Amino acid sequence: MYVADRTWPELGEYVAEESVALIPLGSTEQHGPHLPLATDHLIAEGLAREAADRTGYLCTPTVNVGVSPHHRQFHGTMWIDPPQFRDYVESLTRNLAYHGIDRVVYVNAHGGNVDHLREVGRRLRDDGTMYAIEWMWDESIPDLVEEVFEHNGPHGGPKETAMIQHLAPDLVREDRLEAARDGGLADVETAEFLQKHGARTFYDAIENSENGVFGDQTDATAEIGERLFEAATEQLVRLLEWLDEQRLDDLLAPAHVDPQPGSRRE
């Protein structure tokens, strides 16, 4: 159920029976010479809307701009600074709590959002508002991703290329796949990243990849993208069903171990 397509009485009927919602989040940032800047939020929205359709749970509009300052050197990249991103997502999620939602899945497709979404989830859990967790699509199917690609990449690589070939094929510059591979970092495992004596000495994607992407994009196909999409959707549906079955009290922050602070004071 997509919230923006519904009337308020229809949503009243939903919250009278259900308390689960999905919030898709991505980014608007460079994904090399072959993929659109919309890549991450297209993937997040596609997965969230499909899982919502299959389960009947509520899906909100997509957060299209995320924490992406590490791609800022490339034209068109947009970003929100981490404190503002966390506050925005927290405020948005509290909207849902006001209307009766008490458990949320952040359907995420951008690595730069992960830590900040987990921090928001902790805030909401610790003050007893709700249980909100971050879910990253490719982390739900790591074995399949490893199986289908010889040279995967963490950004703009074959897994994201295949997903967009499946979801929005008209947006993939198929004639630029070889250029993406050759101008980026094709074999991530053998690369010598800028690290010295145990310290990571780089901050931005351009420091490791001239065109901003990693992996061998020529391995991607729409058929593989469909497999990835279906497998990830199945995992998301299972997560939602598990979440709905839990008692809220079991999801919220546990109490302090006994004795409780101050319990011996007179």
Give the pLDDT of residue 261.
76
CA distances from residue 142 to 37, 47, 56, 139 in whole angstroms, order as listed: 24, 16, 27, 5
In whole angstroms, what is the distance from residue 47 CA to residue 234 CA? 10
In whole angstroms, what is the distance from residue 100 CA to residue 130 CA? 10
Give the pLDDT of residue 256.
87
The domain segmentation of the chain, as residue ranges, is 3-251
Pairing verdict, β 199-200 and 195-196 = antiparallel
Give the pLDDT of residue 266.
56
Confidence of residue 192 (pLDDT cuts 50, 70, 90): low
Give the pLDDT of residue 188.
79
> Average pLDDT, whole number, for the chain?
94
Q: What are phi and psi of 200, to 5 degrees?
A: -80, 115
CATH domain 3-251 topology: Rossmann fold (3.40.50)
In whole angstroms, what is the distance from residue 120 CA to residue 123 CA? 5
Task: Work out the number of other CB atoms within 10 angstroms of the CB of residue 126.
Answer: 10
Q: Which helix (H) or strand (E) holds 25?
A: strand 20-25
**DSSP code string of 91-116:** HHHHHHHHTT--EEEEEE--GGGHHH
Name the DSSP letter for residue 256.
P
The SS3 assignment for 136 reads: strand
Give the pLDDT of residue 130.
97
Beta bridge partners, 105, equal: 22, 133
- Each residue of 1-42: pLDDT tens digit? 999 999 999 999 999 999 999 999 999 999 999 999 999 999
Q: Where are the alpha helices (DSSP H) in the chain?
A: 8-17, 39-55, 82-98, 114-126, 142-148, 158-167, 177-183, 222-245, 248-251
Whether residue 75 is predicted with pLDDT greater than 80 in this model: the reply is: yes
Mean pLDDT along residues 222-236? 98
Contacts of 168 by beta carbon, 8 Å cutoff, 6+ apart: 36, 38, 42
In whole angstroms, what is the distance from residue 58 CA to residue 91 CA? 18
- Each residue of 87-133: pLDDT tens digit? 999 999 999 999 999 999 999 999 999 999 999 999 999 999 999 99
The amino acid sitting at 98 is Y
